[in-house]
Structures are given as C-alpha cells and as structure tokens.
Structure 1
Amino acid sequence: MVLQKFNELSGTIEGMSTIHAVFITAMSLYFVFWSDLFSDQQHTGIVTLRSSQLSIVGLGVSVGYFFADLGMIVLHYPTLGGKEYVIHHSLSTIAVAYSMLSGEMQLYTYMCLISEVTTPEINMRWYLDTAGHKRSAAYLINGLAIFLAWLVARILLFLYMFRHIYLHYDQIIQMSLFGCLLVFLVPAVLFIMNVIWFGKIIKGLKKILAKRQ
C-alpha cells in the first residue's frame, strides 16, 4: 500500500514536471534564439535589463512550478530527492522569482531554463523502470537521449552562457548587487551539479550497454 501510494505520488510529480518542461523549454528557446528581445543586433541598451509581458508570464509559470516541486521535495524528504535536489530547486526558485519580479537577467534565466529539456527523458526513464522495462530497447534509446540532451543543454549551453556573461560583463555590473550575485553564482553552482550528474549518466549508460553485449 505504501509503495503504491509512493508510485502514485511520483507519477503525479513526473507528469507535472513534464508538462512544465515542455512549456518552459519552448518559451526559453523562443526568447534565447528566435525572439529579438535579447538580440545585440536588434536592440540597443543593456541586455540584462530587458523584459516583456510574455517573458514575465513565462517565468511566473516556472516560479509556481518550482515552488510546488520544492515543497513536495521538502515535505517528503529524502524520498523524492536528497540535499542536492533541495539546493538545485532552491537556487532555481530564488533566481527565477527575482528575475520575474525585477526584470533583470531574464536572458540568463531563460538560458538556464533550457536545461528543462532533459526532464521528459528523465521522467520516461522512471516510467520504464517502474514498468519493468530496464532491459528493453526503449530504455537504451531513452538513455542515449538523456546523454545527448544533457550534453547539449546542461554542459555546452552553459559554456556558451559563461562566454556571453564574460562578453557582457560591463552590462551585468549595472544591475543590482543581488542580481549580479545571482548571475555569477547560480549558473556556476548549477553547472558543477550538472557535470557531476553527467558523470553518473555516463556510468549508467555504460552499464546498460555492457549488459546488452
């Protein structure tokens, strides 16, 4: 009975996180790569202070999600995730909420939120594991998808963001002190966590491939 309730709770959380991931990934890709809101070519002025009604709404949805998810993690700690999840969600909630309310650093906030593209694949891994399909081809394909999505969205994109921060340092320091702290601290901490988790993903993928040989 306890296991069944836990699986039902986990399934609800996975479903909610997948819906949020699809929404915020689409919004983030739009603002970072397609919209001219943060473009150096289309606009003059400080890129770190730009925002729009749509960008604020998008961040508002994420704030609500992160608050709810963090609350569930704390309420059921450590069943739904250890201290690294608490740190990750706490930093994300603070950064996204501040960006939404202040209008500062929204470009970098959306760059970080692109990493949510890995969430559906991770959730699918849980569903396949729960259904007893760890040895299936679908599980292997999903593992490869996690590896590629993580490499692009949580490693390479963060390196691109660090370069962008370096090139726009003169604009960043014109934000508030707290905004500057968030820009320099939060992506760095998240990147370190991403690298650590990426190492675990590689080890897990190697085990799956070894079992299939």
Structure 2
Amino acid sequence: MQWTGLTLPKNKLKRKDQVEWHSRVISSVHAIVLCLGSLMCYLELKNKSREALVSGYAISPDIFARIFLGYLLYDTTNMLAYYKYLGDKSAIIHHVIFACAAAYVLRYSIMAYPFIWLSLCEISTPSLNLRWHLAVTGQKDGSLYLANGVLLTVLFFASRVVSYGAGMWHLWGLRDVWAAPGQPPLNPFLVGLFFLGYLLNLYWMQAILHGVLRALSRSKPSKTA
C-alpha cells in the first residue's frame, strides 16, 4: 500500500499519518473478517454440549483464531518496524500477551465458544478507525464525524460491555469444565486474562462516552442574547 498509494486520501498526509492510515485500514479489514468468524463460530457451536463449548477441536474457531494470531504478529512487527511513528509500548505488550494467549488456545484446542464474543468485540473497530481517518483529514466538525462517534459508542457498549460481560458470566458457569482435573493447567490464568480485558474495555467505554458527549455538546447551536 505504501508503494501504490492504495487507500490513501487525496489530500497529502504526513509520513507518520500515512503509516498509521495503512495500519488502520488493515485493522478494519481484520475486524470485519473476525466478525464474520464470530458468526460462523456461533453457527458451528450453537447445538454443541457444554464440554464441546470449552474443550475440543472446532473448525471455525481454529481457523479464525489463527487469523487473529497472524494479525497480532503482523501488527506487532509493524509497530516495531515503524516504532518512530507507531511506537506504543502498552500496545506492543498487549499484543504479545494476547498472542501468547491465542497460541495457548490453539495448542490445546480450547475456549471455542468464548471466541464468539471475544471476536465480536471487533465490530466497533472500523468505526474507531474511521473516527481517526476523519480527524486526520480535517473533518472533525462534520456531521459524519458526530454520527460515527455515536455509532462507535453504541457498538462498543453492545459488544465490549454487554456481550463481553454476558460471555464472561456464561464462561463462569462453565468453570466445572475448564477447571476440571485433566484440563490444560493455565486455563484459570486465561480466564483471568479475559476478565482483565473486560476491565480494560470498561475503562475505554467511559473514555469514549465522555468524548461523544463533548462532541454532542459542541454541535448544539449557541444561544443568542
């Protein structure tokens, strides 16, 4: 994309913004693929036993978990290669931790059902990236930026707060399966990692909510004396 200029806007961007633009386009494509994967995983697992939801091989979760792991490896490499522009230590650490978690899941063929609601979280990613695209091209004051901000808030809340929270509750109800003797030893640690991810989403939710409320307040017409 760097060589061809593919996906870049007509107005010229700084080198830093060009690199991030491409990175975010790939992020959005990956998010759409994972949302499709979430649906396919659900269709495959909806009539399975409690044990099969946690332990055992399933085709769709295996395929899309590998895509997810591949993206994490790509994005981490990209951030390191363009550290001058994309350097974010917390994001790199986040990617490394979840890449290890994904590799663990694939190694033992576990947590197939949780992958449904975990991958569904990506449904808000295209809106998040579009928000950045609009901002960097000077469209922060437009109606599209505001509408996208509201959409981002709704999608983030529905997927990363409601769906994720319901998924964690469901997973806790399956603790007799994933914590049973003979299961992979780090399963409780993995569930704890999912819980920390939920807390992080709650933190991001309040930040997004504050941002959209500020945008809505700016969009209101000022009163005339």
The normalised TM-score by structure 2 is: 0.83
**Equivalent position to 1:4, from 6, 10, 14:** 14
Query: Which residue of 2 is the match for residue 134 of structure 1?
Result: 140
Query: Which has a greater percent of helix?
Result: 1
Q: 1:87 to 1:31 in 2, by over 3 A?
A: same
Query: Which residue of 2 is the match for residue 203 of structure 1?
Result: 210
Alignment of 1:84-103 (within 5 A): 84-103=90-109
Q: What is the number of residues matched between the two proteins?
A: 206
Deviation readout 1:153-208 (Å, 9 max, x if unpaired)? 111112111211221110011321113311x2221111111111111101111111
- Matched letter for residue 177 of structure 1: P
**Equivalent position to 1:119, from 115, 125, 137:** 125
- Matched letter for residue 9 of structure 1: V
- 1 CA distance for matches of 2:84 and 2:207? 19
Q: What SS is found at the alignment partner of 2:49?
A: coil
Q: What SS is found at the alignment partner of 2:57?
A: coil
- 1 CA distance for matches of 2:167 and 2:107? 22
- Post-superposition shift, 1:107? 1.7
- Post-superposition shift, 1:99? 1.4
Alignment of 1:43-122 (within 5 A): 43=49, 45-77=51-83, 79-80=85-86, 82-122=88-128
Query: Which residue of 2 is the match for residue 27 of structure 1?
Result: 37
Q: What SS is found at the alignment partner of 2:141?
A: coil
- 2 CA distance for matches of 1:122 and 1:81? 19
Question: Which of these two proteins has the greater Rg computed from alpha carbons?
Answer: 2
8 A Cα contact 1:21 1:117, kept in partner: yes
Deviation readout 1:42-99 (Å, 9 max, x if unpaired)? 4364421132233312111111101111222344447436343234322321222221
The normalised TM-score by structure 1 is: 0.88
Q: What SS is found at the alignment partner of 1:181?
A: helix
Q: 2:198 matched to 1:191?
A: yes
- 2 CA distance for matches of 1:94 and 1:110? 19
- 2 CA distance for matches of 1:109 and 1:53? 12
8 A Cα contact 1:31 1:110, kept in partner: yes
- 2 CA distance for matches of 1:81 and 1:191? 24
Identity of aligned residues (%): 21
- 1 CA distance for matches of 2:178 and 2:29? 32
